[in-house]
Amino acid sequence: MNLIIDVGNSFVKLAVFKGKKLKYKEKVKLDDALVNIKALKKKYNAIEKTIISSVGKLKKTDVKAIAKFFDVLVLDSKTKLPFKNLYKTPETLGVDRIALVCSAVNQFPHKNTLIIDAGTCITYDFVTSDNEYLGGAISPGLRMRYKSLNNLTANLPLLESEIPNDIIGNSTDESIHSGVVNGILKEIDGVIDTYKLKYSDLTVILTGGDAKFLSKQLKSSIFANSNFLLEGLNYILQFNTNE
């Protein structure tokens, strides 16, 4: 069994896989991660290996503590990957994006695939049918757009995400919802359409915290999978174990 540790800025996602099958997952606060990892070790004593993917601040002492229980792989730009990385600055490529591309290579082999991760930021990552990762794009996510309108203006309120009633907002709140949500939907659909002009056989994956909120409103045909990143991390661990 494999333990997946995906470290964000405030929270940590923990997942247990048996082969390719997800057996358990949870999201915990960063400060509580080590306690929960120890609890998982007791619950699933068959866990032998773990992969740590961190875009947040996981202490070196925590990594050392985890290594006492498991054989640890820390994902970085030097990790062996199942695709050819053509990114000009591979050392700056986020480990979350690496994991998403690996998941695409595993689940959609030999297909032109665009992975859209709708989280704090919206990331777009493209891998060709020849297994070559070309790069993509990064733009502000849903909450970031709501917060920026509030933080960078004097009078606009901070609102919770809400599907707008119409493209025409007839109040300040409705105008914000229309601008933020419709703006993101038009952006995503537009990016997909642009890729399809060059790659007509494009496969599109939507994942991330806001995937469920956005997926039913997009006009483009997509595969929505909230566990796509975790599955990618598990595949990287399997790939390196089998090398």
pLDDT 10s digits, 56-105: 777 888 899 999 999 999 999 999 999 999 999 999 999 999 999 999 99
Instruction: Give yes or no for residue 144 having a pLDDT over 80.
Output: yes
Task: Report whether 117 belongs to an annotated binding site.
Answer: yes
Q: What is the mean pLDDT of residues 28-42?
A: 91
Q: Are residues 60 and 89 in the same domain?
A: no
Q: Are residues 95 and 48 in the same domain?
A: no
Confidence at residue 243, expressed as pLDDT on a 0 to 100 scale = 55
CATH code for position 188? 3.30.420.40
Residue ending a domain, among 56, 74, 92, is: 74
Residue ending a domain, among 74, 94, 125, is: 74
Instruction: Give yes or no for residue 54 having a pLDDT over 80.
Output: yes
Q: Are residues 170 and 220 in the same domain?
A: yes
Q: Are residues 146 and 43 in the same domain?
A: no
The share of the chain scoring above pLDDT 70, in percent, equals: 100
**Catalytic machinery residues:** 96
Confidence at residue 50, expressed as pLDDT on a 0 to 100 scale = 96
Segments forming the whole domain that contains residue 30: 2-74
Q: Are residues 45 and 18 in the same domain?
A: yes
Q: What is the mean pLDDT of residues 161-183?
A: 96
Q: Are residues 62 and 104 in the same domain?
A: no
Q: Tell me if 37 is assigned to some domain.
A: yes
Q: Are residues 62 and 128 in the same domain?
A: no
Q: What is the mean pLDDT of residues 118-143?
A: 97
Task: Report whether 145 belongs to an annotated binding site.
Answer: no
Q: Are residues 208 and 100 in the same domain?
A: yes
Q: Are residues 169 and 146 in the same domain?
A: yes
Confidence at residue 5, expressed as pLDDT on a 0 to 100 scale = 96
Question: Into how many domains does the chain fold?
Answer: 2
Residue ending a domain, among 23, 41, 74, is: 74
Task: Report whether 28 belongs to an annotated binding site.
Answer: no
Q: Grade residue 242 by pLDDT with cuts at 50, 70 and 90.
A: confident
Burial of 231 (0-12, 13-18, 19+ CB in 10 A): buried
How far apart (Å, rounded) are the C-alpha atoms in residues 221 and 186?
Answer: 14
CA distance between the termini of the chain: 17
Q: Determine the residue type at 221.
A: S
Q: What is the pTM of this model?
A: 0.93
Q: Grade residue 230 by pLDDT with cuts at 50, 70 and 90.
A: very high
Q: Grade residue 49 by pLDDT with cuts at 50, 70 and 90.
A: very high
Q: Tell me if 139 is assigned to some domain.
A: yes
Q: Are residues 153 and 185 in the same domain?
A: yes
Q: Tell me if 57 is assigned to some domain.
A: yes
